[in-house]
Amino acid sequence: MSGGTRLERADEVHVHADRNPVASANAGAKHPSDWPWLVSLLAIGCLALGIFALTAYRFTDGQGGVPLDDAWIHFQFARNLARGDGLSFNPGQPTSGSTAPLWTLLLAGIYFVGGRFPVAGQALSGVSFLVALAATYALGKRLTGNRWAAWLAGMIVAVNGRMVWAGLSALEIGLFAALSLLAIDAHLSDRAARRYRLRTAALFGLAALSRPEGYLLFALSLADFVWHAWRMPEQADDVRPHRPERADDARAQPHRPERAGAGTDSGPRITHHALRITYYVLRPIILFAAIVLPYLLFSLRTSGHVLPNTYHAKAVVNLLPDRDFLSIAARYLILDNPLLLPFYVLGVMVLFWPAFGGSRGRMVSVRSEMAGTLQTSHASLLSLWSVGLPLVYAFLHAVLYQHGRYLIPLIPCNAVIGVVGLLAARRLAVQRRWLSIIRINPAPFVSRRCGPGLVILTTLLIVAGTAWRLPTMANLYAWNVDNINEMHVALGQWVAEHAPPDALLALNDIGAITYISERPVLDLAGLVTPEVVPLLRLPDRDARLAEFMAAQGVQYALIFPNWFPDLAARDDVLEPVHQVTLGRNTICGGQTMVVYRAHWSSTGANRTSEVK
């Protein structure tokens, strides 16, 4: 009996503490502040960036650099834009080859004021990484009301090796992650206030200009907002953009449940409710369109497609998902933090299920017990985004390579979801008396006196569950930088020294070689040469590419022979003159890249029958 009494008292203490989690997290603090938490979080983030940068600096004998050739693609776009050549890869040839026009614009601004690449690009991605940490903290605090939980979510991100890799990659990954988090946080605030502010739509628009996935995120936010508003007709008059309705109007028309058979005005009321929802989401949609339409129209004008060239060059829509993609995505999710994985699954359910507002079944009772742990029980957008993006990529049959970089922006979201699940599991264990069943005293899980020790232990375990891969990723980052320097940067320098200034190059990796050599290029992957994309899907691809290269007057071809084996075998028109072979390839598309000098002739260029 006494044991049961102690458990009941422990539950009571826990329930009261969770009713005001902010006060509980800051007990004894006269003026609680987020700054100590944020400063320590950003300091850890800077330390992680410094470790990666120092590792690469030493590994490359002081050369440094970026871990992926795609960063040099952004540099080329940005330099041309800063020089007044517009959005072009080859100066004077507009193209929508950039999937991140906002990132290109920011890089161009840095270059215009004197910043030089790649260091300036890495500084910008590093700042984006730190902003993403702060945004993770803000979203975590909104969902839990607990500074420690918000800080823990941020720490999980700060010591995630893939996220730190992105922070020094000079790519748009950190920017998109930060804008996505800020937009989701604003969306949750708007939905709690039953309104959709223009500021929130602007954040989603900027996110879409950082990565095309932002369009999906905005669509999910609209669906989530409309669904939530539609299911609450009794609060229809509270759905507003900025101005509250008059208080006397609200008092004059209180909500009353209708009697069966008495709902003669239910049709007009439903129509009125639908019109109000439509009105209040229309302005955000217009603002979002105003932000993204210029680049979409530019893409349509230059390539004939609304989305950037890279989408059509890399994506193949299929009614069946790519199971290999999902398998690799699951592997990265597990490796990011195996200890947090079960809590992530629980967090997805806790945040997602209230969107449907079920009224039957076990899940409802579980949710109601957990609701006290969460400041915002309805946060289905976070779960939809975390689970939905990998599924969409699987249907597009994207390739999840380069440390799964397309899903790296989900790492902060997954961290927040995992921490939400952790708090929910704690409360559920106490409410269901699981601890007493296995004869564990529940007092340390709810007592303030014993709390700090348990909090420290939990923090260490969860952070270690992510940080254990940090040395491995730092070493991989250094190898990636060295590979790009040894192959792409070196070949760019070779072309600058040996090829005529106006020589047209055919490349399958267009970044560093183009930026360093400053030669015009033809992109054999179709990213900035959309005419190539249809040829890549033909059975006699390499033969058609040879004809196209001849027609364009290509003088040098720099390709991975394993990418284009039949083209590389055309010794009648392509003469190998130089090559680079990596001792250990960790990031490039092939072990060897060969420089071929082209010798086109009326017979050689059209010998398609010889190319199998």
Range of the domain at 586: 481-610
pLDDT at 274 exceeding the cut of 60? yes
| Domain presence at residue 506 | yes
The total of structural domains in the chain comes to 1
**Percent of all residues in the chain with a pLDDT value above 70, rounded to a whole number:** 77
Q: Rg for the chain (alpha carbons), in Å?
A: 28
> Does residue 260 lie in a domain region?
no
Which residues, 6+ apart, have CB-to-CB distance to 461 below 8 Å? 339
Least confident window among 205-214, 356-365, 372-381, 473-482 = 356-365
What is the pTM assigned to this prediction?
Answer: 0.83
Going by pLDDT thresholds of 50, 70 and 90, the confidence category of residue 312 is: low
**Cβ(297)–Cβ(511) under 8 Å?**
no
On whether residue 549 sits in a domain, the answer given is yes
pLDDT at 379 over 90: no
pLDDT average, residue stretch 282-310: 88
Structure tokens at 146: 């607990």
Q: Judge whether 509 lies within some domain.
A: yes
For the stretch 67-100, pLDDT in tens is 999 999 999 999 999 999 999 999 989 988 888 9
In a domain, 321, yes or no: no
Instruction: Kindly state whether residue 501 falls inside one of the protein's structural domains.
Output: yes
Q: For residue 434, what pLDDT band results from cuts at 50, 70 and 90? A: low
Strand partners, 559: 594
String of DSSP letters for 422-488: HHHHHHHHHHTTHHHHTT--SHHHH-TTTHHHHHHHHHHHHHHHHHTTHHHHHHHHHHHHHHHIIII
**Could you say which DSSP state residue 94 is in?**
B
Lowest mean pLDDT among 252-261, 270-279, 313-322, 579-588: 252-261
Q: Is 447 inside any structural domain?
A: no
Long-range contacts of 225-231 (CB under 8 A, 24+ apart): 225/187, 225/190, 225/191, 225/196, 225/281, 226/277, 226/281, 227/355, 228/191, 228/355, 228/378, 229/194, 229/277, 229/280, 230/273, 230/274, 230/277, 231/357
DSSP of 198-223:
HHHHHHHHHHHHH-THHHHHHHHHHH
Q: Within a domain: residue 498?
A: yes
- For residue 302, the model assigns a pLDDT of 86
Task: Kindly report the average pLDDT of the chain as a whole number.
Answer: 81
Q: How confident is the model at residue 233 (pLDDT cuts 50, 70, 90)?
A: low
